[in-house]
């Protein structure tokens, strides 16, 4: 399986054997980085997508338009949602901005899936999230 972001808010996964599209999902906000593919619940493939519009790229940390962001784990076979995590609402420019050093990253980094299925994603609000989904994994 190969998954890619295809537009501002869309992810599409392809079957590598036959080349066809397995599924496609659209989101209201931007997909910030390439999706990650790895082990999911019950040994199924999982596609992790980080969704959210980018913070303003301003020279000073000022209050801006509130941003909403999510991490979604999708079933690799059909794109259905396995679980989701909503980050705190964020309304500042990116963490670490100063008038002399302007930082303009995406809302999320590319997700990483560990061999045990844990997900790690950096967030432009200055935090690393590793949501725990014991309910999904049955532990």
42: CB partners within 8 A, 6+ apart: none
Q: Does residue 136 fall inside a structural domain?
A: no
Task: Give yes or no for residue 6 having a pLDDT over 80.
Answer: no
* Average pLDDT, integer, range 100-125: 82
Q: Does residue 90 fall inside a structural domain?
A: yes
Q: Does residue 19 fall inside a structural domain?
A: yes
Q: Does residue 134 fall inside a structural domain?
A: no
| Residue bearing the bigger pLDDT, 103 or 117 | 117
Distance in angstroms (rounded) separating the CA atoms of residues 86 and 72:
9
Range of the domain at 119: 2-129
Q: Does residue 37 fall inside a structural domain?
A: yes
pTM over 0.85: no
Q: Does residue 137 fall inside a structural domain?
A: no
Strand pairing category for 112-113 and 69-75 = unpaired
Choose the most confident range, by mean pLDDT, from 47-56, 57-66, 91-100, 129-138. Answer: 47-56
Q: How many domains does the chain have?
A: 1
Q: Does residue 124 fall inside a structural domain?
A: yes
What CATH number is attached to the domain comprising 85? Answer: 2.40.10.480
Burial class (CB in 10 A: 0-12, 13-18, 19+), 9: middle
And the tokens for 95?
Answer: 């963490």
Q: Does residue 83 fall inside a structural domain?
A: yes
Measured from the Cβ of residue 129, the count of other Cβ atoms closer than 10 Å reads 17
pLDDT digits (tens, 9 = 90+) for 77-98: 999 999 899 888 776 666 666 7
Q: Which residues pair with 70 in a beta bridge?
A: 51, 86
pLDDT above 70 covers a percentage of the chain that reads 81
pLDDT digits (tens, 9 = 90+) for 59-82: 665 666 777 788 999 999 999 999
């Amino acid at each position: 399986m190969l998954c890619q972001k295809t537009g501002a808010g869309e992810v599409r996964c392809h079957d590598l054997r036959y080349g066809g599209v397995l599924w496609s999902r659209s989101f209201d906000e931007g997909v910030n980085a390439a999706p990650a593919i790895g082990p999911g619940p019950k040994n199924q493939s999982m596609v992790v997508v980080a969704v959210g519009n980018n913070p303003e790229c301003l020279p000073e940390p000022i209050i801006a338009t509130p941003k909403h962001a999510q991490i979604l784990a999708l079933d690799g076979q059909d794109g259905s949602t396995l679980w989701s995590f909503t980050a705190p609402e964020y309304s500042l420019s990116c963490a670490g901005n100063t008038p002399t050093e302007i930082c303009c990253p995406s809302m999320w980094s590319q997700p990483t899936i560990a061999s045990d299925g844990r997900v790690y994603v950096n967030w432009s609000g200055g935090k690393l999230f590793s949501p725990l989904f014991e309910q999904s994994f049955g532990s």
